[in-house]
Structure formats: structure tokens, C-alpha cells
Amino acid sequence: MSTAVAGSDRSWVVGIDIGGTFTDVVAFDPGEGAVRAAKAPTTPGNLVEGVIAAVGALELDLEAVAKIVHGSTTATNALLEGTYAPTGFLGTRGFSDEFDIQRMVRRWGETEWSSIYDLHQEKPPPFVPRHRRREVDERVVYPGTVETPLDEEELRARVAELVADGAEALAVCFIWSPANPEHERRAKELVAAAHPELPVSISTEVAPVVREYERMVTTAVNASLMPVMGDYLAAVGRELGERGFAGRLLMMQSHGGVAGPEELVGRPILTLRGGPVGGAVAAAELARSLGRPNVVSFDVGGTSCDTAVVVDYRVPIAEQTEVDYHPIQVATADLLCIGAGGGSIAALDAGGMLAVGPRSTGSTPGPACYARGGEEPTLTDANVVLGRVGGRNLSAGGVTIEAERAEAVIGAFAGEIGRDTAAAAAGIVRVAVATMADSIRLQTIDRGHDPRDFSLLAYGGAGPLHATLVAEACAIPEVIVPLAPGAFSSLGMLVAGQGSYAQAAFLIPLEETTAAEVEGRLAALAAEAERVQAGAELTVRRFAAMRYQLQEWELRVPLPDRIDGEAGLADVAARFHAAHRERYGFAREDQPIELVALFAEAATPAPRLDLGRPEAGGEDPAAAVVERRPVGVGEDGEAEQVPVYERSLLRAGNVLAGPCVIEELTATTYLQPGWSARVDPSGVLLASADGAAR
Amino acid sequence: MSGSDEAIELVLLHNRLTSICREMGVAMMRTAYSPVFNEGFDFICALFDREGEMIAQAEYNPSMLGAANFSVGWMVEELGAEAFAPGDVWIHNDPYRGGCHLPEHLLLKGIFHEGELFGFAATIGHVAEIGGKAVGALAGDVTEVYQEGLRLPPVRLMAGGEHVMDVWKIMMTNHRTPKLTWGDLHAMLGSLRIGEQRVEALLAARGVAATRRDVAELSDRSERWMRREIAAIPDGEYAFEDVMDDDGISAEPRRLRVNVAVRGEELIADFTGTDPQTAGPINATFAVTASGTYNAIFQLTDREVPRNAGCYRPIRVIAPPGTLVNVLHPGAEIGGNSETHCRIVGIVIGALAAALPERVAAGDGATGCNFLFGGVHPETGEFYANYHFENVGWGGARHRDGNDSQCVPLAISRNTPIEVFETRYPFVTVGFRLQPDSGGAGRHRGGLGTERILEVRAPEVTISSLFDRTATGSYGLEGGLPGGCASIEVRRRGEERFRPFTEAFGTVSPAKFSNVTVHAGDQIRIVSSGGGGFGDPRERPLEEVRRDVRDRVLSPQRAAAEYGVEVDELSAGVLSGSPD
Amino acid sequence: MSADAEQLTGAWAERGAPDDYMHEETLHCGCCGRMIVRRAWVVTAPEEPGGELIFCEPVCERIYAEYWLPRHGGGR
């Protein structure tokens, strides 16, 4: 147990990242610059257990912790696994069929350029099936007039039917509620009175934006996640509290900002990508410090491979995302996730072809070599057979590697496919690498980015293990491996977790408002954003979404710190014209501008995270060699004796030639033949194919 | 360059060019004023070489993509490469110069490198209001191109970066909603500028000669791929025909016919035998017929074939002049690129059902349900006009039911959100639902059409309509039954029921008419058509029939009559409760 | 589409007059029916009225011989 700190001296900040296999935590003391990392197996079914175990492994007095920033996959997992609540929908009479009719008449969108010539494209099934939808008499018409009052009797009767039919959450979305939310608010009150336990989500509290179908679906998805998120937040708050934590608990949101449990219990959808976004934000920060504007953030854990393409140091943010082709009207980091990780299971598919993933052993039972009952061959087992993963220091998270178990399952699989054990292991790795490379190509080449202009920033427990192989397959010339790659995502929570956002619709022609009114609204939003950050030293940035009158789509433009009078508004207009010209190639100075929405972002300066720079040394890394062992380096797993380095013994300036293995507490890096790496003064490894490490 | 390096270079170039076109499209969608652009995606963005051969496209409106080969080719051949100068933008919407139909405006801009013409950035956009007999151009009873709106041969819209105001003024005076025209054309100009800048940067980086060589190689590769796809279709002659309701002027049905000849790696779609061109506006231009044929073949072949000039080359179209599929001047063609286009896609797919039974599907709803309206908005006092369309059910197929409510295959339009629609136009939507029983019965049923009811909120609104598929349903295959028909009806204020326009207003055609005036409190009911069924309905599993009845997309009466499932067999699966 | 050059007898010639805005008559390919813009692939055919067949491109000369004539016989 570490030194106890009195409650009033709370200073530590803790980041928690739940992966498919491990839950990683990292703690940082901004005063001392000290960092600790720990991990524990993720506990599906009850994620809180894993969180508490990992936090416990930090050996830190929770009374000394000021803030915990938490990225959770609770929402995503519930959607992917179908464990969200059966959800009823209540809408305006005449419109609930929009769940079937939908907007995306074909699977087409800014994120998905699928074929326009596919006769057999399956339309996504409605998120709420017909028998769980009800309509009531009520109607608001533009610009907000009540035309038909809400039929409260009918509402009670319909909700009772839905509850009787098994609905465990309720979504309410009425036509034109963004213009007049009164009926939705009243519906919420009535439902709360009749069914106090039933979680209810109304559209104007989730996505108060015009376009009813997208709002309906977003609200329904949100409602379906409320029970599972409510349980989770209550449990994690209680468990941490019982262990002495009295600081602020914040959850990571999809766009990289944070919010407290009280904000999220009713809006769990804001956390949809709150897990993987942490790593991407940390990747962008590291990229900046290394002067590499373009990196592919490559996070491979036990279950999945998450990639994001960072261009000009920015994580791309999309205003809308999709889950199974259902539109989600929430700003989200643009990430691609595929089911390929260390725990991915190797199997022969129906056509007799070797496939790795997407089925995974997760953390329970885990790969065979974890000796926790896993009996299927996994990617990690293949790497153990090849000697790329050793037994020496993989005890992180309480797991020890038993190589003979990996030999047994891979050997059995090799028998099935008629190869020797090493060749089967090499084949499994090759197939997994090809799958990961395809995913990166989708985000680079298919979007017109030349991968040769990028570096691959590899982290997660299994990222650095496959990084040089994947980089070569996608023609990416450089691989960057940060220190403590296994904890990198949770480190991202510390860097990324410092911003919070507030937004509100404000639809008005710019010339019909005043600087004072805009300032007033922005001040309210800034206060809302600041409240989340409880007392820290904050910088507030403000934005407005604007468009030319008659346009349908808006553009988000940064605002000055202060808008004063007519001249201030004229400056806002000028900023919009300039942004429009920059983005779309032209501006229309003579056209009236409409304000659509205002945003405020409150952020603390990102803490400088120094994980301890290595001492300077010469090129020769011999002093860091801890063993030499046979490692399968050939196409078919042919073994060579290769050096194994201990990362903490490496010195800045050391140059490592592949093939070799670099081991550290949270991950193993494998450099394939033909690659070499240099230890940067910052501690990161910079590897490249031609030996000319940059 | 080694083989694999070359492959990387080519795929990068193809993807870069495609992504430039996509970026052009996103800019267009996000800056345009009309819902037909910003929600309906009724536009395209593409790049061409200096001979007018397509080198890349983004996945927008398929009907325009196929036709762009002809309208761009026409412009380049009529004007000659020397006519294009930096900063010039040419405009053209003439169906009698390679276009599809009058609303579709092509804007073409030369891309130069060191003073030499490399190629063109092109956009085609559906300008919603172009003057003519009725608002929104798609009047169901016009008889000449001159009634349809303002026709522009290739003329300069911009010269040396400056507006050619003489042309703009002519357009602004002749279009009913000049503000929208102005905004939409500027969205197109912005899109062209993005295409131009991105290609210039690409040329600066990789050189003109290498890029010319590589785009030619990309086209050749596409052509070879498409030839292999056609070679995989069994050789033979496959005929099919279908009937359209009427031409809006007289009540007789009109016949479309195709013979698809597959010969090795070449495919000929021969429309000989199609009825002569009509007085009313259902005639298609050659570009439309070719585009519909390409669309059908692309849906039946590998969708990964890169889309550039090469993939069109092995597909040949024979369309006799003076028929419904190759209209002669001055025939009316405004509905050819909507109603007839759908049928052209449908009969080519129907013909190939005999050759590719696993790949085809029964007929989709095949009508745009084009509904046009305009007038003076009671709140703004300004003229407004809108081009509204509906989605339809798609056909059942060997392995699956048809999708409900999906855009016709010639477009990729999304429906306009009700909340966007009501912001702009003086209607209140009473309901927007799936239309029960509109999916053709089959082992795999057709998809459902929709029902939309609109109530007029202005003192008066002038409406026009151009629908087909109101008399015969979309075809079923292998024993599947036809889909439900489309309709447009009216209920005058105070009346009990909806009535067809033939009855309420004495129109010749039930769904092709123009300039009918409706008043505050009147309601319009638009029903879109369903898809045809595939396979014998009596082979549909009982639980799927039950599910459809439970979900109220199939009535118990139809379940009994068409699927042979009686009411007592249904009850087990039917839940209480109804969406309404 | 490549056409086997050795079997073809036509040659390119200017036939269309797209910039003649006084007249609206259009000239169409004798095989596929497509409008001729300016250039046409012209085949000498003494038996035809006018002594020639006009195509939009060489491929249509071949398709005319291989498909159109056997199926439909004679010209348009």
C-alpha cells in the first residue's frame, strides 16, 4: 500500500479503460509527475468487478484521488450483444412507421460509401419492432404551435400496454418537439407518475435537432441503454465510494469530452465510443509531441482492433454516427473497430479457409496459455508458440503464460490443417495481420490517404506485437511504440478527459439577434460545461453552427472570446464566410446567415505526462538484452535465436535490429526481420523497414 | 515499377480520384438550397479526361452517372477542347444534346495544368424549378419540350472566373424560384472548384503524363473486368416487356420491350419493338435508355468493378429513334427520366431472370410518384416550388423478401424529413406510414410502398403529378404475384372520402396532370407502389405470414386469398395491440 | 469496345452540325440510334438510300453486321 494522503490533499487523477480482455488503469500525480499503471481481467457481465480489481492493483489510497476519468464500453457492448432493454416507443399519431421507412433508403452515407448498384442490400430492421410502438393524439406544427393537444388518457393507456408487453424502457419522440418540447416533457411526467421505475428518454433531452427519424432512433437507442448504464454507474460509484473515493467521477464521451454520472444516467448514448476514443486522443497528443502530423492510431487488445486516422494531429469527429446502420445523432470520434485481437479464435470456416476472429475468448476463459480453461487456439497462443511472446513478464493482470498449453491447442489445430505446429502458428498470425491491414486500408487508401504519408502508432497489449507486420502489409513506413503501450488508452483518459461540452439549439437569423443575446446563451452553456469540471483552471472555447439561409446543413465555426455589439456580430458573420470558403470553396457575403446552435467547451490544459525518459546512451543496445531465445521469424514459423530486450533497460539512442523482441510490463513488441528501431529521447520506439530509423 | 508497386499506384490513384468526387458531392450537398440536392442527393460529381471519357465518379444518382457519358461527350465534341479556358464554366440541360431531361443541368469546368487542358470536373444537378407550364417541371400532361421549362444549349455560365450575367439573368427571369436556382448553381460551382483544386494538386504531385497513362490503364482494367462479368452470363437472347399506364394525354397503355443478347463478353440491349414516342411526357432520351441499361447490368454483376469509362464499353444499347426509348425533337421527355427509366431498368433485369435466376429480383415499385407544387407562401409572401417524390417497395428475390420503402433504383434519394418539409412548405403531414398489402405475395414477398397524407395550409396551392404504376403492379417472378399499385387522390375540405383526380377534377389520367388548384383544408393522399413477389406464395412459411399479419403489413383477407393461410391458423402468432 | 479494325470498312467523317441552331433535325446512328454530334463513322453502302450507312462509332458497324442485320434485316 502506498503512502496515504489526507483527504484535503487529493491530487491524483486516475484513468480507467475497459477493454474486451483487460481493464487498464493509470494514475497520475500532477504535483509529483508520478505515474502508476495496473490492470485486471475485464469481467463481462459485471464490469465493475474488473474496474475495482484494477483500481485495487494500483495500490493507491483512493482518498488521495481527486478525479477518476472512465471510458466504458458498457453501452457499446450492450448494443453489440443485444443485452439492452426491450424498449417501447411512443410517438405522434401517424409517424411511428418511420422506424421501418427510414431515411437511408440505401446504405449510403458520409461514412459508408457502399454500392449504389446492389439489388440485394438488406435494409436494417427497425430498431424498435412494430409491436413495441404506439402512437398518441398530439401534434405540434412549425414553428412550435400546438395544433392537437396531448391526449393524456390515451398516453397512459398506450404506455400501460407497452409495459404489459414487456417494455423495460420507454422512448418518447414527438414531431416538432425541438420547436416546442412541452408535450414530451408532459409525457415524461405522466409516465413517471404511472410507472416510477420505468426509465424514460424524451428526444429533446438527447438530440434536440430537427429531422424526426434520426431523432426517433437516437432516442430509442438511448432509452434502451438507460437500465444497463444506470445499474453500472450506480455500482461503480458505490464500490469506489466504499473504498474511500470522494473525488469526481467522470465518464468519457464519444467525442472525447467528459461528463458526470448525473448527466449520463439519462443520456448513456453519449458514451457510445467512450472506450476506444481515449487511445485515439492520446495518439493525437503523442503525434504532436513527436512532430508526426499523420498517424494511424492502432489499438489491439484481447478482443478487438480499433483504428483511427489522425490527420494534422486531429482525431476526426463525425456529427453523426451509426450503430448497425441506425443513425445516432451524437458527435463521435470516427473510429473503425474489427473483431481481431489476442483472444481471437482461429478456426476453419465453411469453405475450409483459415479465419481468425471475430469470435474471441475474451478474458474468460482467455487464450489457452492463460491456463484458465481456454481450449481453443487463439492469436496469443500462436504468438506464444512462435516465441514472440515469452513467459517472463506477462504476469500483468494476474495472468501467467503456460507455453505448453499454447503448444497443445495450436498443435491440435495444426493437425486439422495438416501443417506442423510452427507453420500453423505463423499462418494464424498472417491471417490476423491481413485482417487488421484491410481495416487500415479502408480508412486510408479507400479515403484517398496515401499510407506512405503515415506512421503506425501501435498500442494495446497486442498492438506492438503485430505492428511491423501490419505496417509492411499496408505500406506504412514507420511504426511508433509508446512506453507502456498496454496502458496507453487509459493514459488517454487523462489527456482527453479534460474537456467537457454543452450545446443548445438556437435557430434564428443572425441579423435578428443581438450580441447580448448570443453572449447570454453562450454564458449559460459555458457555465454548464464548467460545472462538469468542478473548480479546475479552465479555458472556455465557444462555437456556433451556422448556415446561409435556405441551406440545410450547418457549419461549425469557432467564436471569439467576446462578441460585442454590431461589430461583434459582423465579425461572427465574417468568420462564417471565411470558414465556408475554406471548406466548400466559396462564400456568399451578400446572403443572410442563420444561427442553428451554440456550443461551449470547457477544458483544462492537458497535463504533461512524463512516463520517465530513458537515460541517453549509445547505439549499442546490448546492455538491455535479457535473454536470447528461439523465435519463429519465417513465413512458416522457422525459428532463429533472437535477442530479447527489456524495455526499461534501453537507453535513448539505442538502435535495435530485427528480428528481435522487446518486453515490458504491459506489452511485447516484435520487430520482424528487415526492420530496425531507434529509442527516441522521449522513450518511444521509432521503427522503420529500411533500417534508416527517422 | 514492379507489378505490386504498380498495383498500389493504380489503386491509390483510383481511390484518390473517387474520393475527390465524393468530396465534391459532400460540398454540394452541404451548401445547396433545395431539398432535392441536400436531402435527395439528386446530383452527381465526376471527373473526365479531355476527350470526355469518364475517369472517376462518386456514388450519387445512378441515372445521371450513366447519362453523363453522353452529355459531357456532347459538350466536348460540339465545342471542341479549344473552347475551354481556365475559369470558364459551361452549362447545358438540353435533352436533345445528350441530356437526360430538362431539369438536369450539367456544369462543366476545364482542369488545366501549366496552361494545358487535362480534363474536366463535372456536376449534374436536378434544378427543381426551371419555369415552363407548371411548377417543378414534371407536369404530367406536357406535349413538347418547350412547355417543360427553360432549355439551355452549351453556354458559358462563368468566363474567366466572372459570372456571365447575361445568362444568369435569362435563367433568373425564367425560373419561378430564382433564389434557389442561384443557391443551387453556386453549390455546383463550389463543388467544381473543389474538384479542380484537388486534381490540380494531384497533377502537380504525380505529373500529367503519368496520370494520363494511369487513368487510361484504370479504364482498360475496368473494361476487362466488366467483360469477364458478362462472359460469365450464359450466352443467349432474353426478351421481356412491360406496360406503362398512359402518357397523360390519352388513356391507352404503352408497351416497352427489350431483347438482351449476351454474346461472349459483350451484351446488347435491343429495345426494338417498343411503342412509338407519345404526345405526353413519358419519352426517354437515348442517354436515359443507356443509363437504365447500365444500371440494370451493374446490379447483376460484381459491384466492385471500378466505375469509369471502361466499365460501360462492353454494354451496347439499340434504341430506335422515334420510340419511347429514343425520343425525337420536340417530344416531351420530362417523365422519361423518372417513370420510363424505372421500367427500362426493370425490363432488362426481368429479361435476365432466365439467365441469372439467383441474382435478379422481381420488379420494384418503379415510379417516382413525382408530386409538384407551388404558389405564394402565406407567411413569406414569396413564390415557392417543390419537387417531391416517394420511395417504393422493392421486389422479392430467390433468397430474401424485397425491402420496404426504398428509393427507385435509378436514384439514391432520401425522403425529405417531415420537419424539413413543413418548415418550407404550407402543408401539414397527417400521416406517413407503410401501405399494408402493397407487397406482392410470394415465397419471398415484395417490399411495401408507403402512404402519405398532406393537408393544405395555404389559401391555395397549385399541384401537378407524374406517376406511373397506377394501373398494373410491378411484376412477380417464378410464381410471385404483382406488387400493389401507386395512386394519388384528393379529399376536398368537408368531403367524406378520398377520390381520384379524374373524378374530383376531371383529369384525363389519374396521376399525370398539371396545374390543379387545391385549397386550405384539402388533403392529398399519395400511395406508392409495392414490389413484386418471388416464388409461389403458398410456399411461404406459416410463421412469416403470421408475422406479417401481426405487424399489420398483411391483412387476414390477403393472407387467406393469396397465401392460403386461414384466420384460425393465424391467431397463434397475432399479438394484441396496434401501432394505431 | 474494341472493334476488329480489319473487318471494318468505314471511315470518320464530319456529318453532324451541332452548332446549327437554325435547324432541329438530328442525325442518328444507323445501328444503335444514338444522336451523332459532329463526327460519324461512315460506311459506303451503294444499296442504301444515300449510298452510305452512318454509325456513331466503329463498333456499331460491326454490331450492325453481326446482330442487327441477321435479327431485323435491312436498314431502319
* Cis? peptide before A659, omega within 30° of 0: yes
The 8-class DSSP code of residue A316 comes to -
Instruction: Determine, for residues C1 and B316 on separate chains, whether the beta-carbon distance falls below 8 Å.
Output: yes
Q: In the structure, do chain B and chain C come into contact, i.e. share 3 or more CB pairs under 8 Å?
A: yes
Domain carrying residue B213: 3-224
Residues 6+ apart with CB under 8 A from B569: B542, B546
Instruction: Determine, for residues B190 and A102 on separate chains, whether the beta-carbon distance falls below 8 Å.
Output: no
Chain A residues with beta carbon closer than 8 angstroms to that of B33: 548, 550-552
Residue B560 lies in a domain: no
Q: What is the pLDDT of residues A169-218, one digit of tens each?
A: 999 999 999 889 999 999 999 999 999 999 999 999 888 888 899 999 99
Instruction: For B82-134, give the DSSP string.
Output: GG--TT-EEEE--GGGT-SSTTEEEEEEEEEETTEEEEEEEEEEE-S---SSS
Instruction: Determine, for residues A585 and B8 on separate chains, whether the beta-carbon distance falls below 8 Å.
Output: no
Average pLDDT over every residue of A465-489: 92
Q: What is the pLDDT of residues A223-251, one digit of tens each?
A: 999 999 999 999 999 999 999 999 989 99
Residue A87 has pLDDT above 90, yes or no: yes
Query: Chain B: residue nearest A159 by CA?
Result: B577
Q: What is the pLDDT of residues B169-188, one digit of tens each?
A: 999 999 999 999 999 999 99
The distance between the two most distant Cα atoms of chain C, rounded to a whole number of Å, is 39
Evaluate whether B510 touches B439 at the Cβ level (below 8 Å).
Answer: no
C60 Cα to chain B: minimum distance (Å): 9
Share of chain B above pLDDT 70, in %: 97
Residue A145 has pLDDT above 80, yes or no: yes
Question: Count of alpha carbons within 13 Å of A103, Cβ hemisphere only?
Answer: 22
A586 Cα to chain B: minimum distance (Å): 6
Query: Chain C: residue nearest B314 by CA?
Result: C1
| B536 vs A305, higher pLDDT | B536
Chain B residues with beta carbon closer than 8 angstroms to that of A119: 299-300, 349, 359-361, 394, 397, 409
* Exposed / middle / buried, residue B183 (Cβ in 10 Å: 0-12, 13-18, 19+): buried
**Domain match, A137 and A44 both:** no
Instruction: Determine, for residues B313 and C1 on separate chains, whether the beta-carbon distance falls below 8 Å.
Output: yes
The three cell numbers of residue B86 are 481556365
Res A396: pLDDT: 52
Q: In the structure, do chain B and chain A come into contact, i.e. share 3 or more CB pairs under 8 Å?
A: yes
Place A692 in a pLDDT band, splitting at 50, 70 and 90: very low
Q: Which of B96, B261, B326 sits opposite C33 (nearest CB)?
A: B326
Residue B568 lies in a domain: no
Res A358: pLDDT: 79
Please work out, in degrees rounded to the nearest 5, the angle formed at the alpha carbon of residue A566 by the alpha carbons of A561 and A569.
45
Lowest mean pLDDT among A434-448, A586-600, B241-255, B429-443: A434-448
The 10 Å Cβ neighbour count of residue B560 is 15
The three cell numbers of residue A163 are 409495459
| AA letter at A571 | D
Residue A578 lies in a domain: yes
Residue A252 has pLDDT above 60, yes or no: yes
> In 3-state terms, chain A is what percent helix, strand and coil (to 5)?
35, 25, 40
Lowest mean pLDDT among A387-396, A459-468, B359-368, C50-59: A387-396
Number of domains forming the structure of chain A: 4
Share of chain A above pLDDT 90, in %: 50
Asked if B387 has any chain C CB less than 8 Å from its own CB, the reply is: no
* Cis? peptide before B330, omega within 30° of 0: yes
Strand A660-663 and strand A639-646: the pairing is parallel
Instruction: Determine, for residues C33 and B268 on separate chains, whether the beta-carbon distance falls below 8 Å.
Output: no
Asked if A8 has any chain B CB less than 8 Å from its own CB, the reply is: no
Query: Chain B: residue nearest C66 by CA?
Result: B263
Name the one residue in this structure whose C-alpha cell is 487523477. A13
Residue A147 lies in a domain: yes
Residue A577 lies in a domain: yes
Residue A210 lies in a domain: yes
CA–CA distances in Å: residue B123 to residues A68, A450, B21, B50: 52, 26, 9, 16
Question: Chain-centre distance of CA B10, in angstroms?
Answer: 31
Res C41: pLDDT: 97
Mean pLDDT of chain A: 87
Q: Which has the closest alpha carbon to B434: A482, A133, A665, A341? A: A133
Q: What is the pLDDT of residues A258-310, one digit of tens each?
A: 888 888 899 999 998 888 888 998 898 899 889 999 999 999 988 889 999 99
Name the one residue in this structure whose C-alpha cell is 487500415. A440
Res B2: pLDDT: 37
| A322 vs B466, higher pLDDT | B466
**Measured between alpha carbons, how far is A144 from A208 in angstroms, rounded to an integer?**
13
Evaluate whether B447 touches B403 at the Cβ level (below 8 Å).
Answer: yes
Instruction: Determine, for residues B286 and C33 on separate chains, whether the beta-carbon distance falls below 8 Å.
Output: yes
Q: Which of B298, B414, B422 sits opposite A141 (nearest CB)?
A: B422
Place B8 in a pLDDT band, splitting at 50, 70 and 90: low
| AA letter at B370 | N
Phi and psi angles of residue A68, each rounded to the nearest 5 degrees, phi first: -120, 125
Residue A182 lies in a domain: yes
| A26-35, A319-328, B65-74: which is most confident | B65-74
Evaluate whether A279 touches A252 at the Cβ level (below 8 Å).
Answer: no
Evaluate whether B261 touches C67 at the Cβ level (below 8 Å).
Answer: yes
**Measured between alpha carbons, how far is C32 from B315 in angstroms, rounded to an integer?**
12
**Domain match, A197 and A130 both:** yes
Res A394: pLDDT: 52
Place A420 in a pLDDT band, splitting at 50, 70 and 90: very high
Instruction: Determine, for residues B183 and A550 on separate chains, whether the beta-carbon distance falls below 8 Å.
Output: yes
C43 Cα to chain B: minimum distance (Å): 19
**Domain match, A170 and A248 both:** no
Flag whether the ipTM exceeds 0.90. Answer: yes
Residues 6+ apart with CB under 8 A from B150: B102, B130, B131, B132, B170, B171, B174, B175
Chain C residues with beta carbon closer than 8 angstroms to that of B261: 67
Residue B573 has pLDDT above 50, yes or no: no
**Domain match, A125 and A205 both:** yes
Residue A388 lies in a domain: no
Res A45: pLDDT: 78
Sign of torsion, CA B247 B252 B253 B258? Answer: negative
From B224, B254, B275, the end of a domain falls on: B224
Q: Which of A96, A117, A447 sits opposite B579 (nearest CB)?
A: A96
Q: How many residues appear in chain B?
A: 580
| AA letter at C44 | T
Place A608 in a pLDDT band, splitting at 50, 70 and 90: low
Give the CATH number, domain containing residue A22. Answer: 3.30.420.40
The distance between the two most distant Cα atoms of chain A, rounded to a whole number of Å, is 81
Mutate one of C29, C67, C68, C76 to test the B interface: name it (highest B CB count within 10 A).
C67
Average pLDDT over every residue of A388-404: 72
Phi and psi angles of residue C27, each rounded to the nearest 5 degrees, phi first: -110, 135
Res A550: pLDDT: 80
Q: Please, which chains are in contact with B (at least 3 CB pairs closer than 8 A)?
A: A, C
Lowest mean pLDDT among A419-433, A476-490, B13-27: B13-27
Number of domains forming the structure of chain C: 1
Chain A residues with beta carbon closer than 8 angstroms to that of B400: 120, 122
Instruction: Determine, for residues B97 and C24 on separate chains, whether the beta-carbon distance falls below 8 Å.
Output: no
B430 Cα to chain A: minimum distance (Å): 7
Please work out, in degrees rounded to the nearest 5, the angle formed at the alpha carbon of residue B519 by the alpha carbons of B518 and B521.
120
Mutate one of B14, B30, B527 to test the A interface: name it (highest A CB count within 10 A).
B30
**Measured between alpha carbons, how far is C27 from B96 in angstroms, rounded to an integer?**
11
**Domain match, A112 and A196 both:** yes
Mean pLDDT of chain B: 93
Instruction: Determine, for residues C32 and B328 on separate chains, whether the beta-carbon distance falls below 8 Å.
Output: no
Dihedral angle at the C-alpha atoms of A578, A583, A586, A588, nearest 10 degrees?
-50
Number of domains forming the structure of chain B: 2
The 10 Å Cβ neighbour count of residue A346 is 27
Place A321 in a pLDDT band, splitting at 50, 70 and 90: confident
Instruction: Determine, for residues C67 and B320 on separate chains, whether the beta-carbon distance falls below 8 Å.
Output: no
**Domain match, A508 and A592 both:** yes
The three cell numbers of residue A523 are 454564458
B211 Cα to chain A: minimum distance (Å): 15
C31 Cα to chain B: minimum distance (Å): 7
Query: Chain B: residue nearest A107 by CA?
Result: B412
Chain B residues with beta carbon closer than 8 angstroms to that of C31: 318
Res B368: pLDDT: 95
From A546, A576, A603, the end of a domain falls on: A603
Residue B185 lies in a domain: yes
The 8-class DSSP code of residue A513 comes to S
Average pLDDT over every residue of B373-390: 88
Evaluate whether A374 touches A362 at the Cβ level (below 8 Å).
Answer: no
Phi and psi angles of residue B25, each rounded to the nearest 5 degrees, phi first: -70, -40
Residue A9 has pLDDT above 80, yes or no: no
Instruction: Determine, for residues A583 and B27 on separate chains, whether the beta-carbon distance falls below 8 Å.
Output: yes
| B491 vs A603, higher pLDDT | B491
Place A508 in a pLDDT band, splitting at 50, 70 and 90: confident
The 8-class DSSP code of residue A503 comes to E
Res A162: pLDDT: 97
Average pLDDT over every residue of A423-449: 85
Per-window interface: A 100-139 vs B, CB < 8 A: 100-106, 108, 110, 113-123, 129-131, 133-135, 139
> 3-state SS of B137-189?
CCCCCCCCHHHCCCCCCCEEEEECCEECHHHHHHHHHHCCCHHHHHHHHHHHH
Place A333 in a pLDDT band, splitting at 50, 70 and 90: confident
A609 bridge partner residues: none
Instruction: Determine, for residues B12 and A147 on separate chains, whether the beta-carbon distance falls below 8 Å.
Output: no
Question: Chain-centre distance of CA B106, in angstroms?
Answer: 16
The 8-class DSSP code of residue B573 comes to G
**Measured between alpha carbons, how far is B237 from B263 in angstroms, rounded to an integer?**
9
Instruction: Determine, for residues B286 and C35 on separate chains, whether the beta-carbon distance falls below 8 Å.
Output: yes
B453 Cα to chain C: minimum distance (Å): 42
Average pLDDT over every residue of B395-409: 94
Domain carrying residue A511: 499-603
Residue A276 lies in a domain: no
Average pLDDT over every residue of A71-90: 87
Evaluate whether B511 touches B486 at the Cβ level (below 8 Å).
Answer: yes
| B463 vs B305, higher pLDDT | B463
Q: Which of A97, A116, A552 sits opposite B433 (nearest CB)?
A: A97
Instruction: Determine, for residues B272 and C72 on separate chains, whether the beta-carbon distance falls below 8 Å.
Output: yes
Instruction: Determine, for residues C37 and B272 on separate chains, whether the beta-carbon distance falls below 8 Å.
Output: no
CA–CA distances in Å: residue A578 to residues A159, A575, A585, B116, B535: 50, 5, 10, 31, 58
Residue A471 has pLDDT above 80, yes or no: yes
Instruction: Determine, for residues B320 and C76 on separate chains, whether the beta-carbon distance falls below 8 Å.
Output: yes
A70 bridge partner residues: A16, A251
Residue A397 has pLDDT above 70, yes or no: no
Start-to-end C-alpha separation, chain A: 42
B451 Cα to chain A: minimum distance (Å): 10
| AA letter at A80 | L
B316 Cα to chain C: minimum distance (Å): 8
Q: Which of C34, C35, C67 sits opposite B268 (nearest CB)?
A: C67
Res A105: pLDDT: 56
The three cell numbers of residue B421 are 418539409
Q: Helix, strand or coil for residue A192? A: helix
Asked if A324 has any chain B CB less than 8 Å from its own CB, the reply is: no
The 8-class DSSP code of residue A493 comes to H
Chain B residues with beta carbon closer than 8 angstroms to that of C39: 77
| AA letter at B468 | D
Res A679: pLDDT: 96
**Domain match, A73 and A123 both:** no
> 3-state SS of A430-449?
HHHHHHHHHHHHHHCHHHCC
CA–CA distances in Å: residue B413 to residues B452, B487, B529: 17, 20, 16
